Amino acid sequence: MKKNTYTVENSGGSGDGGIKAWSFGNHQLLVRRVMQVTMSIAGLAVLWMFLSNSASSIEFHTFSHYFSAQSIKAGYESKLESVLRTASMKDNKTVIITTLNDAWAKPGSIFDLFLESFRLGNETQWLLNHLVVITWDQKTNAYCLAMHKHCYQVETKGSNFTGEVFFMSPTYLRMMWRRTEFLTSVLEMGYNFVFTDTDIMWLRDPFKQFYEDADFQIACDAFNGNSSDINNYPNGGFKYIKSNNRTIWLNKFWFNSSKEYPGFGEQAVFNKIKLNPLISQMKLKIRFLSTSYFGGFCEPSKDLNKVSTMHANCCVGIDNKVNDLKILLEDWKKYMALPEIEKKQSNLTWSVPQSCSTSFERANEERKKNKGRLQRALVETV
């Protein structure tokens, strides 16, 4: 204790003065140390902020680009989900889907006749509540919304599907495969659907004729009488597909097979892949629909007491389709005007095809001529 007092006294004279001198010196040193530490911390903070801002500017650009792309995708899917949810049958998430482009979306054209068939059909008008019309362009979408409440404009991925699209043309093929791709996305969203071409007239509720145990059901250009026979010739314009892992796989397999068969339409490719052993391994239940109920101009439904739908297939040209579909609906009106007992006893038959039959025969003759020219050219080349 004395040692401490002695040291203090000898370092500064009197006791009070020594203590004050010691305290003041140490206080200055402490201030300098605090300022040095503070400046170091401030420097490090400035450096961190600089590096952070430099990195975040790069990250922000990348993040904003990613977020923008995801937002567009989410918006696309959420809008489609909203349309499907509103239109679906609440008990089983099923919708009816058709596609429409500008050529068929004009007053008095095929789309108008399509909608009219639901109103003229036998207990079919309620099905319009579940019909979703997929449009290929803005003008068509506007026309659709003026006529119907459930319309959705799909992304065409750079293709132009406006105007009349001729069968098996490059634009036709792109449209058909884009349709297959889109319908696959509907299955992935958990919705069952009946896809119908717009040139199919709905005259009775088709759900009563579908097979309950089937995953995939499709109409036929020609039906051989056996719904399980894979050798039936299907028509992709009318199909009922339930959403499950098997059908999602099938639609993806179908779409991807287009690369193996370039220049082929979806219907022709389906004819190729339907015999693939992978389909049987997946235990897919496929049924082919009878033309007695799901007929067309290729093979008409002969009994008006049974028919559910009639398709303007085996027909070339919009005008020919419109002409014959108008006649078909007039035939149906006459049938529906009969008393119930007379309907059962009636021998009424269709007055069609007329223009379609002629146009299809001409098209077949032209194809045969072209095939003959090609064969002759090959012979001459050889």
101 domain residue, yes or no = yes
Of 277-281, 292-296, 315-319, which has the strongest mean pLDDT? 292-296
268 domain residue, yes or no = yes
When pLDDT is cut at 50, 70 and 90, the band that residue 70 belongs to is very low
Whether 30 has a pLDDT exceeding 80, the answer reads no
144 domain residue, yes or no = yes
Phi, psi of 98 (to 5 degrees): -135, 165
Q: Is the pTM of this model over 0.85?
A: no
189 domain residue, yes or no = yes
**For the domain that residue 149 is a member of, what is the CATH number?**
3.90.550.10
- Evaluate the CA torsion angle 128, 317, 270, 152 in order and state its sign: negative
User: Cβ(254)–Cβ(180) under 8 Å?
Assistant: yes
CA distances from 126 to 87, 119, 120, 133, 298 (A): 11, 9, 11, 16, 28
93 domain residue, yes or no = yes
Across the range 144-163, mean pLDDT stands at 78
Task: Check residue 299 and give its pLDDT.
Answer: 96
Give bridge partners of residue 295 from the DSSP assignment: 310
Which three-class secondary structure state does DSSP give residue 220? strand
150: domain range? 73-293
247 domain residue, yes or no = yes
Percentage of the chain lying above the pLDDT 90 cut: 56
pLDDT, averaged across the chain: 81
Task: Check residue 140 and give its pLDDT.
Answer: 93
113 domain residue, yes or no = yes
Write the pLDDT tens digit of every residue in 332-363. Answer: 999 999 999 999 888 889 999 999 987 777 76
When pLDDT is cut at 50, 70 and 90, the band that residue 178 belongs to is confident
Domain count, the chain: 1
Residue 6 belongs to what H/E stretch?
A: helix 2-12
Task: Check residue 14 and give its pLDDT.
Answer: 43
Report d(CA 344, CA 338) in Å as an integer: 10
Which three-class secondary structure state does DSSP give residue 360? helix
155 domain residue, yes or no = yes
The residue that leads in pLDDT, 251 or 52, is 251
